[in-house]
Amino acid sequence: MSSAASSHRNLGGYRLRSLSARKKPPAKVDAVLRSVFSSPKLRDRFSQYAFVTHWPEIVGERISQHAKPLKVVRGELFVKVSNPIWAQELAFLKETLLKRIAKITSSGAPINDIRFVVSSEP
């Protein structure tokens, strides 16, 4: 069997290369993660979403059952709410919520506005 044939195996239609066929050794996971997280832009994006884990603290347990953060686009947070009544109630609390979020995301890109989107999906 040739060396090229011996360095590859066929597994369910996929060709797998053996480790000995690699041109360079695999990178260590910690080195890869360190390089990925050293990007200021990426660090800001992660920081911008840090509030998600604190969402029940920001809005309260009761409200968190009816309002969930969806995404952030250009500094605008989109929040899915279960019905129009919650959208209106949270609109009154928008400034308070922005201040609470700002405390948590202080080192990252700011969230400047909140848009409440009514959705009956869980």
| List of the chain residues with pLDDT < 70 | 1-22, 33, 36-37, 43-48, 107-109, 122
- 81 lies in a domain? yes
Element (H, E) at 5: helix 3-6
Percent of the chain residues topping a pLDDT of 90: 40
pLDDT tens, residue by residue, 45-67: 666 677 888 899 999 999 999 99
Query: What is the pTM (predicted TM-score) of this model?
Result: 0.63
Compute the distance between CA of residue 66 and CA of residue 49 in angstroms, rounded to an integer.
Answer: 19
- 86 lies in a domain? yes
Q: Say if residues 20 and 7 touch (Cβ distance below 8 Å).
A: yes
- Computed on alpha carbons and rounded to an integer, the radius of gyration of the chain in Å comes to 23
What is the domain count for the chain? 1
CATH code of residue 55:
3.30.300.180
Domain ranges, residue 87: 42-118
- 13 lies in a domain? no
The predicted pLDDT at position 78 comes to 96
- 16 lies in a domain? no
- 1 lies in a domain? no
Residue type, 99: K
Residue type, 106: S
